């Protein structure tokens, strides 16, 4: 990681803040605080600056202490899971650190410097969820916790139960958002599931009265998602067969066996299609059996990294040609690579400034986080930039600046909800909207087709790999964005 001055995102944030904060007076005029009022003999003086105080947990007169939750990738690698050597726990932390370094180098937030505390968990060891929670609630006094994707709902519940706000870059449940302590980039799982069911209905594949399957699990968030999709389909006149996997068992082999058995149950009911709400880590059994049986299915992006570039790069051959309804954007429509928006270009430039030396080259669209790929011509393609960290850092800076000289957790959350429109990277069509009662940003979903590509897939005349931006399985965009707020 380089230690240069990093100002690209600070400039973007500053411009957005001016738009958000400077509405102007109704008459368009203004009065200087140092001008003497008409008829006054003595000039007015400026009000004394408000003294910085320890205004809430994790806030001192000088600092704001933020917890950053990152996966213990070394522990996962030691357990035999293949992870790129460049993707380390330190690197995950650095991807956050560079944004907060920018803010500190520019003077901090309203006079305070930001301190980051690294919180580590192992996704394959549930005991580490408790350790992370203890570090965030007992061992340290933190203003809030941030995580881009993957933090277990068990750990999130512990944090929320302790009153710690969470800013999350991925899908949460409506119940989590209803605590008033959670902010997310993606819509809640129930909203995505209902939107997925609606998108399938509008495809016209089958008329009302047909049987539609839903595969969900018994975790709180995904059970609620399955029921939301069921309600949407039932209201439209379809007959629904809902099956929930026993996800809380923690037995992945048994879960995949349940998924395989569900295929027969759906076929026995005459299901024309199955809408899948379970995470990609639980889908192998279902995918394999469904492909062998010729059962059509679509994914609904209701869980962490489900239909992100990273998640789909792990999809097996059995999932190819199925579709996913998601709030994530993807790099290609199968013929061309989508150009970055202005905000995304700033995110990419910021990433390259800080990590080009680390990877050995500039970022490439569609390459999953942390990876370096080499195609059949010998060309190297380097990890794409980090869209969630980039968007969340911008939102944090905007909201924290507007939360007051002596902010509280409550004033910060209120400030986020009053930001209005915010830029997003690789999500929601490029913009999102916060509003009172809407603590998530993305306003739209679209459909992508899971497309197979591998290291031996040669680039075509457009520089794509079977329609993917890199020689690895991907999502190819096949629909326009559809509003979820209408």
* pLDDT attached to residue 35: 33
Query: Hey, which residues does 64 pair with through a beta bridge?
Result: 59, 114
For residues 291 and 289, what is the distance between their CA atoms, to the nearest angstrom?
A: 5
Query: Hey, which residues does 470 pair with through a beta bridge?
Result: none
Confidence grade of residue 279 (pLDDT, cut at 50, 70, 90): confident
User: Pick from 121, 152, 149: which is nearest to 250 by CA?
Assistant: 152
pLDDT digits (tens, 9 = 90+) for 163-218: 999 999 999 999 999 999 999 999 999 999 999 999 999 999 999 999 999 999 99
Look at 30-34, 37-41, 247-251, 430-434 and tell me which has the smallest mean pLDDT.
30-34
Would you say 300 and 225 are in contact if contact means Cβ atoms under 8 Å apart? yes
Indicate if the pLDDT at residue 25 is higher than 80: no
* pLDDT attached to residue 48: 59
* pLDDT attached to residue 219: 87
Compute the half-sphere exposure of residue 177: CA atoms within 13 Å on the CB side of its CA: 26
Q: Which domains does the chain have, with CATH numbers?
A: 55-187+388-428 (3.40.50.2300), 189-326 (3.40.50.2300)
Mean pLDDT value across the chain? 89
Would you say 52 and 111 are in contact if contact means Cβ atoms under 8 Å apart? yes
* pLDDT attached to residue 208: 97
pTM of the entire predicted model: 0.87
Indicate if the pLDDT at residue 384 is higher than 70: yes
pLDDT digits (tens, 9 = 90+) for 5-24: 333 344 344 333 333 333 33
* pLDDT attached to residue 76: 87
pLDDT digits (tens, 9 = 90+) for 28-84: 333 333 333 333 344 444 555 789 999 999 999 999 999 999 999 999 888 888 788
* pLDDT attached to residue 16: 39
363-391 as b/e, with b when 16 or more CB fall inside 10 Å? bbbbbbbbbbbebeeeeebbbbbbbbbbb
* pLDDT attached to residue 37: 34
């Amino acid at each position: 990681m380089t230690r240069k001055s990093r100002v690209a995102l600070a400039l973007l944030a500053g411009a957005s803040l001016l738009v958000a904060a400077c509405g102007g007076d109704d008459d368009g005029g203004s009065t200087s605080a140092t001008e003497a009022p008409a008829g006054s003999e003595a000039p007015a003086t400026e009000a004394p600056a408000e003294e910085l105080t320890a205004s809430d947990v994790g806030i001192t007169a000088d600092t704001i202490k933020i917890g950053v939750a990152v996966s213990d990738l070394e522990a996962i690698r030691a357990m035999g899971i293949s992870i790129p050597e460049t993707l380390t726990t330190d690197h995950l932390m650095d991807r956050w650190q560079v944004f907060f370094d920018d803010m500190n180098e520019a003077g901090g937030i309203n006079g305070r410097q930001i301190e980051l505390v690294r919180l580590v968990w192992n996704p394959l060891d549930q005991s580490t969820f408790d350790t992370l929670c203890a570090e965030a609630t007992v061992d340290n006094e933190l203003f809030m916790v941030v995580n881009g994707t993957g933090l277990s709902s068990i750990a999130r519940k512990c944090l929320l139960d302790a009153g710690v706000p969470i800013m999350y870059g991925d899908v949460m449940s409506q119940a989590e958002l209803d605590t008033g302590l959670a902010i997310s980039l993606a819509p809640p799982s129930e909203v995505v599931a209902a939107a997925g069911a609606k998108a399938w209905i509008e495809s016209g594949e089958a008329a009302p009265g047909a049987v539609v399957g839903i595969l969900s699990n018994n975790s709180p968030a995904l059970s609620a998602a399955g029921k939301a999709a069921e309600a949407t389909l039932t209201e439209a006149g379809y007959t629904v067969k809902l099956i929930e996997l026993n996800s809380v068992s923690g037995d992945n082999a048994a879960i995949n066996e349940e998924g395989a058995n569900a295929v027969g149950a759906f076929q026995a009911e005459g299901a024309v299609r199955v809408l899948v709400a379970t995470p990609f880590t639980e889908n192998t059994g279902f995918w394999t059996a469904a492909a062998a049986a010729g059962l059509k299915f679509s994914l609904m992006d209701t869980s962490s990294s489900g239909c992100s570039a990273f998640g789909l790069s792990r999809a097996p051959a059995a999932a190819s040609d199925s579709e996913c309804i998601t709030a994530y954007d993807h790099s290609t429509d199968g013929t061309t690579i989508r150009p970055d928006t202005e905000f995304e270009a700033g995110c990419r430039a910021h990433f390259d400034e800080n990590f080009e030396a680390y990877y050995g080259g500039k970022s490439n669209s569609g390459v999953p986080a942390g990876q370096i790929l080499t195609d059949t011509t010998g060309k190297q393609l380097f990890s794409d930039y980090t869209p969630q960290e980039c968007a969340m850092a911008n939102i944090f800076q905007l909201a924290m600046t507007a939360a007051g000289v002596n902010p509280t957790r409550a004033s910060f959350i209120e400030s986020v909800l009053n930001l209005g429109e915010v830029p997003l990277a690789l999500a929601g069509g490029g913009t999102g909207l916060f509003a009172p009662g809407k603590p998530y940003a993305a306003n739209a979903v679209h459909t992508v087709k899971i497309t197979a590509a591998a290291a031996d897939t040669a680039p075509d005349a457009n520089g794509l790999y079977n329609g993917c931006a890199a020689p690895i399985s991907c999502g190819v965009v096949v629909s326009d964005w559809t509003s979820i707020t209408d």
